[in-house]
Amino acid sequence: MAKIHDVAVIVGSLRKGSLNRQVANALAELSPATLKLNIIEIGHLPIYNQDGDENPPDAWTEFRDGIKAADAVLFVTPEHNRSIPAALKNALDIGSRPHGKNVWSGKPGAVVSASPGGIGGFGANHHLRQSLVFLNVPAMAQPEAYIGGADKLFDANGKLANDGTRKFLQGFVQAYSVWITANAKS
């Protein structure tokens, strides 16, 4: 039987009605039986400060442990001013430290960006990929996922209401499952 891989999902938006969270929920529903997607929250994490490395806040330790326990990491993020939101950068930084203890390292990754705008958060998607190279996250190249017009894809209950997007996201998570199997440490 195929191994079931645990995927830590990081949503770059903190707001309750987040379109990106809705995309993440849709991905969880559409994912094959080989993947278990679980959102790891980042909104409560104190801003990273290297002075905290010796005696880290509990929230940093719990977050690092959550990423360590996962087989793979999936990022679903909005674009803020053509880059990634500060909360997401903070989470990346916390997971990357102390020096030599980068919890992201070697976890097969994938990036989805979503925006009401037409270019689907392309700038955030690629800024994030720049950090993932340094963090040693092998990020799936294809299919790329820039979800534009995201404010028109969900119903009032936050459920995906667009067949084309459903098919695309389903293909995306299926490809990601293959990517994880090919790149996972276990």
Q: Which is nearer to ligand FNR, 75 or 179 (CB)?
A: 75
Stretch that binds ligand FNR, among 10-18, 55-63, 163-171, 174-182 (CB under 6 A): 10-18
User: Minimum Å distance from CB 73 to ligand FNR?
Assistant: 18
Residue 115 found at the interface with ligand FNR (CB under 6 A): yes
Are 94 and 60 a contacting pair, CB within 8 Å? yes
Q: Which is nearer to ligand FNR, 25 or 177 (CB)?
A: 25
Burial class for 186, CB neighbours closer than 10 Å (0-12, 13-18, 19+): exposed
Are 2 and 34 a contacting pair, CB within 8 Å? yes
Residue 15 found at the interface with ligand FNR (CB under 6 A): yes
Which one of 64, 121, 147, 176 is in contact with ligand FNR (CB under 6 A)?
A: 121
Q: Alpha-carbon distance 99 to 102, whole Å?
A: 7
Q: Alpha-carbon distance 186 to 174, whole Å?
A: 19
Size of the site for ligand FNR (CB under 6 A): 14
Q: Which is nearer to ligand FNR, 18 or 131 (CB)?
A: 18
Stretch that binds ligand FNR, among 61-69, 113-121, 128-136, 154-162 (CB under 6 A): 113-121
DSSP 29-86: HHS-TTEEEEE---TTPPPP-GGGGSS--HHHHHHHHHHHH-SEEEEEE--BTTB--H
Q: Packing angle between helix 122-134 and helix 86-96, nearest 10 degrees? A: 10
Stretch that binds ligand FNR, among 40-48, 77-85, 125-133, 165-173 (CB under 6 A): 77-85
Binding site for ligand FNR (CB under 6 A): 13, 15, 18-20, 78-82, 115-117, 121
